[in-house]
Amino acid sequence: MTTRWAPAKKDTLRALATEILHNYSRGRAFVAVDGPAGAGQSAFADDLAAALVEAGHAAFRASVADFGRPRGKGGAVADGEPAPVDGALLRRVLVEPFRLGGSTAWVPAAFDSASQREVEPRWVTGPDDALLVVDGEALGRPELAGLWNYTVWVTPGGGRGGLRAVATAVVDVSDPEHPRRVFDDAC
């Protein structure tokens, strides 16, 4: 039996953080962590934000699930479909204020999907040079297209598919403690 080398989680996260900071260390930028349902986007986004902070850069977190629509208001979805997002709300209280920089505050969550209710806004501020790591599913859908500066597609293995083809980086998380970057360019 041969043993395959697998990178440690911290090494993969540090490499991604270094690449992101190489391109987006000045000003404000958005990093999307996308993938199929159940791929672990939220946990990976938490770890990536921590790696960015460890590298000495301000990083904040949000999830598109926290900008959902209540059931009965376009909130019902078919199995396998991503939950609907209130794109106008997401842009108004998170994206646009974050992009303004300075002392402008933004809201990292506006909806609780478990209770199907809006939540009291919690306003957050940060430095001019900051990254916002946003997790979700199908972040390239039309109402969200063009918001992200850098996209990480996390996958529990398997072939190309969905929005993976347009991601900046693809990470196989089939072994969460040893995620590995996948270079599967189509050229």
Q: Mind listing the pLDDT tens digit for each residue in 6-34?
A: 789 999 999 999 999 999 999 999 999 99
The residue written with tokens 């270094």 in the block is 18
- Give the global pTM: 0.88
Q: For residues 18 and 11, what is the distance between their CA atoms, to the nearest angstrom? A: 10
Please give the average per-residue pLDDT across 87-95, as a whole number. 94
Please give the average per-residue pLDDT across 136-144, as a whole number. 86
Pairing of strands 111-112, 117-118: antiparallel
Please give the average per-residue pLDDT across 65-84, as a whole number. 67
How many whole angstroms from its chain centre is CA 83?
15
Q: What is the pLDDT of residue 142?
A: 81
Q: What is the pLDDT of residue 164?
A: 65
Q: What is the pLDDT of residue 149?
A: 96
Query: Hey, what domains does the chain have and what are their CATH numbers?
Result: 9-182 (3.40.50.300)
